[in-house]
Amino acid sequence: MVTGGAGFIGSHVVKLLAGKYPASKIVVFDALTYAGNLANLQELDGLDNYVFVKGDITDVDSVRRVLEEYGVDTILNLAAESHVDRSITDPLIFARTNVMGILTLLHAAREYWGDQLEGKLFYHISTDEVYGSLGFEDGPFTEQTPYSPRSPYSASKASSDHFVRAFGETYGMPIIISNCSNNYGPYQFPEKLIPLTVNNIRNGKPIPVYGKGENVRDWLYVGDHARAIDLIMNHGTPGETYNIGGDCEISNIEVVKTLIEITDRLLGRPEGASADLITFVKDRSGHDLRYAIDHSKLTRELGWRPATAFRDGIEHTVKWYLENSAWLKGVTSGEYLDYYTKMYASR
Ligand code: NAD
Ligand code: DAU
What pLDDT sits at residue 344? 43
Catalytic pick from 56, 129, 218, 249?
129
In short, whether 252's Cβ falls inside 6 Å of ligand 2 is yes
Residue 335: which pLDDT band, with cuts at 50, 70 and 90?
Answer: low
**For the chain, how many helices (H) and strands (E)?**
13, 13
> Which atom, in ligand 1's list, is nearest to the CA of 36?
9
- Cα 72 to averaged position of ligand 2 atoms, centre (Å): 33
In the residue annotation, 153 being an active-site residue is answered as yes
In short, whether 151's Cβ falls inside 6 Å of ligand 2 is no
Tens-digit pLDDT profile for residues 175-215: 999 999 999 999 999 999 999 999 999 999 999 999 999 99
What pLDDT sits at residue 333? 76
DSSP string, 118-187: TT-EEEEEEEGGGG----TTSPPB-TTSPP---SHHHHHHHHHHHHHHHHHHHH---EEEEEE--EESTT
Give the whole-angstrom CA distance, residue 65 versus residue 79.
17
* Residue from 100, 61, 57, 48 nearest 78 by CA: 57
Tens-digit pLDDT profile for residues 243-302: 999 999 999 999 999 999 999 999 999 999 999 999 999 999 999 999 999 999 999 999
- Cα 137 to averaged position of ligand 1 atoms, centre (Å): 31
Q: Could you tell me how far CA 205 lies from the centroid of its own chain?
A: 26
Give the whole-angstrom CA distance, residue 249 versus residue 190.
21
